[in-house]
Structures are given as C-alpha cells and as structure tokens.
Amino acid sequence: MRAGEAFRVAVDSLRANRLRSVLTMLGVIIGVAAVVVLVAIGSGAKREVETQVQGLGSNLIVVVPGKARFGSAPSVSRLTLEDTRELTRIVGNPDAVAATVASGETLRAGQREFFGTVNGVTDTVPQVFDRPVARGRYLTAADVATRRRVAVLGSVVAQRLFPDEDPVGRQVSIAGVRFRVIGVLAEKGTAFGVSVDEDTHIPLTTAQRLFGVDRVDALAVKAPSTESIEELQASLIDALKAKYPGEEFSAVTQTQILGTIGRILGM
C-alpha cells in the first residue's frame, strides 16, 4: 500500500471511530502523521512539513492525554471543559487557552451534503490559532455557554453546500440537527494531506451534546513568549497530574514535533 493511501485509510479510520481530532488542536497527532509521510517519501518534503507545523500558530503548546509517542495509539481523554479554567489560571490570559472535541459528520443543506470534520471548539480558537473569518463572525463565549446551534464553515464546506451563494444566515443540518451558519473561515489550505478548509466549527458544549460525550480531545495554550514555553509546559502538566492522580499527560510544542521529524530523518 502506498504511503498516501495508507495515510488516507488511517484518517478515515480515526474519523469513523470519533478519535480523529481537529487539525487545529491536535498538532501533536498531525506532527506524528507528518513523520509517517516523511519516512515514506523521503527528506525532500521536510521544509514543507516545517512550514505546515509552524503554520498551526506561534508559541503553541498542545496538551493531550497519555504519552505522545511515535506509533502509539491515542489515549482515552479525561480532559473536560473545566480544565481550560485551570490552565487559564496558570497562563494568566483567558484568550490563550482553547479546547476541542471532534467527530466526522455529514452536513446537509437542501439536496446537497458533505462529510467532514465537525470541531466543537471554544471561542478562543482565533486568538490561539491563525484561523481568521472571511465572512460573518466567529463563535462567542455566549454561544459556548448557552449551547447555541450555530456553525462556522470551512471554505470548502461553504462552497460545496452553498455554491455561489453567501451561506451566512442560512441553515445546515449536522448529524440531523439544524444549525444556523454565522460565518465562513478564511481559506487555509492543506496540511499533511488533510484540508482544514473541510472543517466546521461549532460551540464545544453543543458538540458534546451532539456527539454524546462530556470530554474534550485536547487543549491548546499559546505561550506569551518563546522563552516561557518550557516552564509553562511543566506547570501545565503538573496541574493536570494533580487533578488526575495516576494519569499521564503530554504537552508538546511545534519545536518538539519538528525535532522528532529531524531525528527520524537523520537531519
């Protein structure tokens, strides 16, 4: 099986089992996927992968359950929305922490339908990551607090469901539930063979109800500076271990992802 085909099969499998998390949030998992691709196709794409990892945002720390090891299976998450408050206390900036839960779902608008990743997120995603809105608006804290059925579409999703139309203000159904479109994300492109423009963002609390879960898949923190990242990593892990005795957590940066790539490629 060719590397590209194997990667697509892996992604489809994760979607089917609701274990695939948002590209935006799970930089560590995407980084591991990039390693698989790089080993298969050689070092010629290393610079491109570096650009894509760095494009996830600056000074990012992605917190996931378990030990983030190359080739290891994702751990079952015990993280909750409440954990964002603890991490916010440590960082000291309420706009610097974001959370997500994700699932592959079918979206419909009239006779058109599209299968893509639906990301339940907090309103802080635009501040933590480089995901500007092209039309309309993004989610607000009130949307998350009140579990509003509102959605921000990726550019590909918007074009597939509403070709040559403005989707803002229109209705879409996600997993059979109606949502009002409030915005369209700016085009971002493809990272590691996955188009993030095929994502849809809805309030995290709404997504938890829709998916029938109370967890979040990952937390992301934007460190105030490059110099503060290492100390902040340790503080985040210590806080989560104190809350969940006996559990393991990983806090991974873009630099560590790229370092893993470099070691495997011997570069």
Q: Give yes or no for a contact between 177 and 115, defined as CB atoms under 8 angstroms apart.
A: no
DSSP secondary structure letters along 179-207: EEEEEEEPP--EETTEEGGG-EEEEHHHH
Band (pLDDT 50/70/90 cuts) for residue 189 is confident
Please tell me the pTM assigned to this model.
Answer: 0.77
Backbone angles phi, psi at 14, to 5 degrees: -65, -40
CA distance 81 to 101: 10
45-67 burial, b for 16+ CB within 10 Å, e for fewer? bbeebbebbeebbebbbbbbbbe
The mean-pLDDT minimum among 29-38, 48-57, 107-116 falls in 29-38
CA distance 122 to 192: 24
Q: Give yes or no for a contact between 25 and 215, defined as CB atoms under 8 angstroms apart.
A: no
Q: What's residue 27's pLDDT? A: 40
Residue 201 burial (CB count, 10 A): 31
Higher-pLDDT residue of 193, 94: 94
Q: What is the mean pLDDT of residues 166-193?
A: 90
Q: Give yes or no for a contact between 25 and 62, defined as CB atoms under 8 angstroms apart.
A: yes
Higher-pLDDT residue of 262, 196: 196
**Strand residues in the chain grouped as ranges (E):** 60-65, 97-109, 112-121, 133-136, 150-153, 171-174, 177-185, 190-191, 194-195, 200-203, 218-222, 249-253
Q: For the chain, which residues make up each domain, given as ranges? A: 3-265
Band (pLDDT 50/70/90 cuts) for residue 12 is low
